Chain A
């Protein structure tokens, strides 16, 4: 027996209307106009597959109130090819060092395959799936893609949805590919993919999964196909089902977000599903994964649904922020951007819990919290009477701030300020996702794990925690600070 204990999604705070993209690029490809409906989510410059996975993973663990013993990170856009991205996520989530880690990659089935294996083995694990997908400016994918992450906690209990059975199919059907040398996908003909790939491979796998679950295909209430809408319709028709089984594919709200997309659809679906309903989740990429769940409990807590997050995202009105935030467009940042961002890796390791988990210290003599952690108390001066103190989950309040146009940042102006944490402790921190002119003294902030800066000389990026506004005072970002 196994099931889904908790599921959560993270959709970035910024979005762009597809019309905004098409308006800039229809001179190049008038065909883009036909796709210019709805919005896509846009990760800020300081987000990547790791930071979004951490955001989804935090909510997922928090609402379950459980600490996973295993973590699997699924992505095809891992920032590091040889440094454990998953271990960094473990530390950012403040999970125990004993947590086993694995990474699943290589296709759009990276998450579904890991999920199916975990469910079959009834292994308690956190699966965090995340992608920040690159698309060439002017390509259809620039409009259809979105950035997002989802995390699912599975275990031996039924939880929210009980796993009934599944099937997998390996088939070297190459609808698109990307090599280590490429930043963006090479894409093959869509009609062939639909007719031979989607409708050729998915229905048989769904049928096998139903058989494994000892259910009938016709009993499926929700079929979750993280593929283009017209492909999904063809699959439904091929399975002899009604179109209303198709769950919201979220393409209109945020776009195709890659390996985590099926889980985002599952998150969205479970919020509206009734107990006893049958859900079939599919993963497609050089084959197919399908798994069946019976909805057992629809009482989700804490996390906001993907569509709701996408719906409250702040719109980027300036198309060029899309290629600029994804580092495809290099803007002139001047002499300040030439500063060497070399990381002293020995100093980093000495302080990696402070940097990765925002772990501070608290004085056991007078209860004063400190970030960064200190040995001598700033309040009572007691020495070496500290214990660990986590700051990542504390709400912070703005004491002072500025929007700085002088410092080099990928999205000027850089917003930073002095913040005070609930329960005590102050820090001087860079903020993120702050629309220009929206921040005020006294605003409440939540900490998020983000990219601090890039060291292009050495191909390195470092991470740290940034406060983001819990509610934003304006809804339109034209010229957003940090975003």
Chain B
């Protein structure tokens, strides 16, 4: 295996908008908001940025293709700017571009932006889209909740679980995130529904109810990265103060096994476990359950988060639902998950979500999370699952402090 990027790149500044139904804001407003905050946080001038990436998913429905909407909005000084898209892993892909550029020495300072203006599409959930000229002729006209609901049906069948028990665990996942999101002024949903309210919500796609779904919102998040020696030489951090380091960035993309081969049981996400093993190796993590202090995972639906705990090796296969019910991933549990409220409370402006998750880990590592602050976390993981359980891109980042 290649030597990887562990400890080669530092995140020197981040910004994140309020995630809301931002009727007031265009994609440009959202980008400017996140960008200004990140620039101020890094303490650099715009001219210091030598390359930039922007991640956006529903390009046709908000800003159009290419990176031009960002370079023109921010008046970037004709630097290389690229647009990336990889489903829900888009935000993490954006950071990957910037991190690789800095790690290679091609740039000293680079920027990653993720943005999505979902609420101009007119849809309550994600908009309809094509899956390909031939695929549309054989794939069901599925929705995201419907595709992920399959995880719950298959999980309950595989582990001989009564659906009412699984539903209770799923409800706990959402309940816990609402409790966390309630304390976060940037979160979209700040209500605190009870377990009973969650369980009794209208059905969206059996067995997923309304409260099992994440919100739908607009938002942007931005990161500025540099090699640590550059950051220190530029005086961007006080001597003795820590830097938030990229410990690992890993992706695993489906190759069709889940969709076409008998070996996949439908009760877990194959790519997540593969990406996690690589990420732990790259970050030098031997025992993720002991070493990780927090996670921000892709809780597009409650069942997704539950299954991901197993795929990430944070719960035993078939036992994750029990760990959830026992509060192991609550804010005061062993490995808090979605301390900021998660996709559940932030909503999921696709291109922004990966960077939004890193923003929370970044704040927590630097002790800047306010009411939600954990006790001296040193290592945090973010995870995105782009696509559906049958075919997807899993993206994982591990962030930690430099020594």
The answer to the question of B46 belonging to the interface, with a C-beta cut-off of 8 Å to chain A, is no
The answer to the question of A179 belonging to the interface, with a C-beta cut-off of 8 Å to chain B, is no
The answer to the question of B260 belonging to the interface, with a C-beta cut-off of 8 Å to chain A, is yes
Closest to A381 in B: B255
Closest to A371 in B: B260
| Per-position binary interface string of chain A over residues 341-356, scored 1 when its CB falls under 8 Å from any chain B CB and 0 otherwise | 1011001101100110
A418 to chain B, nearest CB (A): 5
Instruction: Contacts A400-B266, A406-B146 given; indicate if A428 touches B139 (C-beta within 8 A).
Output: yes
The answer to the question of B150 belonging to the interface, with a C-beta cut-off of 8 Å to chain A, is yes
Residues on A with C-beta less than 8 A from B123 are: 335-336
Instruction: Contacts A402-B205, A420-B262 given; indicate if A414 touches B138 (C-beta within 8 A).
Output: no
Closest to A370 in B: B260
Residues on A with C-beta less than 8 A from B134 are: 344, 347-348, 350-351, 354, 372
Residues on A with C-beta less than 8 A from B128 are: 336, 338-339
Contact between chains at A368 and B157 (CB < 8 Å): no
Contact between chains at A464 and B255 (CB < 8 Å): no
Instruction: Contacts A378-B260, A426-B261 given; indicate if A464 touches B157 (C-beta within 8 A).
Output: no
Closest to A466 in B: B140
Contact between chains at A403 and B205 (CB < 8 Å): yes
Contact between chains at A399 and B205 (CB < 8 Å): no
Contact between chains at A429 and B205 (CB < 8 Å): no
Contact between chains at B137 and A452 (CB < 8 Å): yes
B244-279 CB contacts (< 8 Å) to partner A? 255-257, 259-262, 264-267
CA distance A440 to B157 in the complex (A): 9
| Per-position binary interface string of chain A over residues 418-450, scored 1 when its CB falls under 8 Å from any chain B CB and 0 otherwise | 101000111111100000000011100000000
The answer to the question of B231 belonging to the interface, with a C-beta cut-off of 8 Å to chain A, is no
Contact between chains at A343 and B137 (CB < 8 Å): yes
The answer to the question of B26 belonging to the interface, with a C-beta cut-off of 8 Å to chain A, is no
Residues on A with C-beta less than 8 A from B206 are: 402-404, 413
The answer to the question of A417 belonging to the interface, with a C-beta cut-off of 8 Å to chain B, is yes
The answer to the question of A301 belonging to the interface, with a C-beta cut-off of 8 Å to chain B, is no
The answer to the question of A408 belonging to the interface, with a C-beta cut-off of 8 Å to chain B, is yes
Interface of chain A: mostly helix, strand, loop or mixed: mixed
CA distance A420 to B357 in the complex (A): 36
Residues on B with C-beta less than 8 A from A404 are: 142-143, 145-146, 149, 204-206
The answer to the question of B151 belonging to the interface, with a C-beta cut-off of 8 Å to chain A, is yes
The answer to the question of B154 belonging to the interface, with a C-beta cut-off of 8 Å to chain A, is yes
| Per-position binary interface string of chain A over residues 361-373, scored 1 when its CB falls under 8 Å from any chain B CB and 0 otherwise | 0000000101110
Contact between chains at A400 and B150 (CB < 8 Å): yes
The answer to the question of B25 belonging to the interface, with a C-beta cut-off of 8 Å to chain A, is no
A137 to chain B, nearest CB (A): 28
Question: Chain B, interface size: which category?
Answer: 35 or more
Residues on A with C-beta less than 8 A from B137 are: 343, 347-348, 351, 355, 452, 462, 464
Contact between chains at A417 and B150 (CB < 8 Å): yes
Residues on A with C-beta less than 8 A from B264 are: 426
Closest to B139 in A: A428
Interface of chain B: mostly helix, strand, loop or mixed: loop
Instruction: Contacts A347-B133, A402-B146, A404-B143 given; indicate if A418 touches B261 (C-beta within 8 A).
Output: no
Residues on B with C-beta less than 8 A from A347 are: 133-134, 137
B4 to chain A, nearest CB (A): 26
The answer to the question of A405 belonging to the interface, with a C-beta cut-off of 8 Å to chain B, is yes
B261 to chain A, nearest CB (A): 5
Closest to A369 in B: B260
Closest to B154 in A: A400
The answer to the question of A453 belonging to the interface, with a C-beta cut-off of 8 Å to chain B, is yes
Contact between chains at A407 and B261 (CB < 8 Å): no
The answer to the question of A409 belonging to the interface, with a C-beta cut-off of 8 Å to chain B, is yes
Closest to B132 in A: A347
Contact between chains at B122 and A378 (CB < 8 Å): no
Residues on B with C-beta less than 8 A from A355 are: 137-138
Contact between chains at A442 and B149 (CB < 8 Å): no
CA distance A379 to B143 in the complex (A): 28
Contact between chains at A399 and B143 (CB < 8 Å): no
A460 to chain B, nearest CB (A): 12
The answer to the question of B390 belonging to the interface, with a C-beta cut-off of 8 Å to chain A, is yes
Residues on A with C-beta less than 8 A from B138 are: 354-355, 372, 427, 429, 464
Contact between chains at A378 and B257 (CB < 8 Å): yes
Instruction: Contacts A355-B138, A402-B153, A409-B141 given; indicate if A424 touches B122 (C-beta within 8 A).
Output: no
B343 to chain A, nearest CB (A): 17
The answer to the question of A401 belonging to the interface, with a C-beta cut-off of 8 Å to chain B, is yes
Residues on A with C-beta less than 8 A from B204 are: 404-406
Contact between chains at B266 and A399 (CB < 8 Å): yes
Contact between chains at A344 and B133 (CB < 8 Å): yes
B107 to chain A, nearest CB (A): 36
The answer to the question of B48 belonging to the interface, with a C-beta cut-off of 8 Å to chain A, is no
Centre residue among B128, B134, B140, B266 by max chain A CB count within 10 A = B140
Contact between chains at B205 and A428 (CB < 8 Å): no
Contact between chains at B140 and A441 (CB < 8 Å): no
- Please give 8 more A-B residue pairs, beta carbons under 8 A apart, in addition to A339-B128, A428-B390: A370-B260, A399-B266, A400-B150, A401-B153, A402-B150, A404-B205, A425-B260, A441-B153
Interface residues of A (CB under 8 A from B): 335-336, 338-339, 341, 343-344, 347-348, 350-351, 354-355, 368, 370-372, 374, 378-379, 399-409, 413-414, 416-418, 420, 424-430, 440-442, 452-453, 462, 464
| Closest 9 pairs between A and B when the two form their complex, measured CB to CB | A404-B146, A416-B140, A430-B140, A344-B133, A402-B149, A347-B133, A339-B128, A400-B150, A400-B154
Interface residues of B (CB under 8 A from A): 122-123, 125, 128, 133-134, 136-143, 145-147, 149-151, 153-154, 157, 203-206, 208, 255-257, 259-262, 264-267, 390
Q: Could you show 22 A-B contacts with beta carbons less than 8 Å apart?
A: A338-B128, A339-B128, A339-B141, A344-B134, A355-B137, A368-B261, A371-B260, A374-B260, A402-B147, A402-B205, A402-B206, A403-B203, A403-B206, A404-B143, A404-B145, A404-B149, A404-B206, A406-B125, A413-B206, A417-B153, A420-B262, A424-B262
